[in-house]
Structure 1
Amino acid sequence: MKPVLTILSIPFILVTLGLFLIVLNALLLRFTAWIADGVDLGFHVNGFWPAFWGSIIISVTTWILDAIVGVDD
């Protein structure tokens, strides 16, 4: 779902110099929490701002782990 949304939001990503990707990640994190709540998995995100900060933490962690592990696609 993320690749499709990323392609559809390319104009917003270009205008905001990539910062819209953080908003997109926050919305997807919120959507994941909504699905997890529906199947009772115990994963909760209480609003947009916690999802926003969570997406920043996930992005930075992914960036650091990718730099350490260095897996080529």
Structure 2
Amino acid sequence: MNFILRILLTAVAVVILAKFLPGVEVEGYLTAVIVAIVLAILNLLVKPILVIFTLPVTILTLGLFLLVINAIIILLADAFVSGFGVSGFFIALLFSLLLSLFQSLLFSLLGKD
């Protein structure tokens, strides 16, 4: 049940960010839910592989390269979901930063598992 609430809260964050960021487009609420599911799957499967492959760069940049990995995950979600569009890398970077901020604020409302 908590997973479903997290997906729905992420979808709400995606819709809110799409309204305010000029380079992000979401066709509808169902698309936002699909984007949230795809982001959860990509963060579960692809992100650990990218982190392992880029570990030396991540250590060298003191963890700041993880922001680039998050932007890559957003661009991958853009490629997989029709109806979701991100105009470029820097918009994806800003979107991932703001999405992480919104998720932490919204997930704090859920409390502990």
**Structure 1: which 5+ residue stretches go unaligned?**
none
**Structure 1 residue 3: Cα displacement:** 0.8
Aligned to 2:62: 17
Percent identity reads 37
Q: Which residue of 2 aligns with 1:54?
A: 95
Cα distance between partner residues in 2 of 1:70 and 1:8: 33
TM-score by length of 2: 0.52
Q: Aligned letter for 1:22?
A: L
- Corresponding letter in the other structure for 2:55: I
Q: Of Structure 1 and Structure 2, which has the larger fraction of its residues in strand?
A: 2
User: Which residue identity is paired with 2:89?
Assistant: F
CA 70–6 in structure 1, closer or farther in 2 if over 3 Å, else same: farther
If asked which structure has higher relative contact order (CA below 8 Å, sep 6+), I would say 2
TM-score by length of 1: 0.76
TM-aligned CA distance change 1:12 to 1:33, over 3 Å: same
SS of the residue corresponding to residue 44 of structure 1 reads: strand
- The count of residues paired between Structure 1 and Structure 2 equals 68
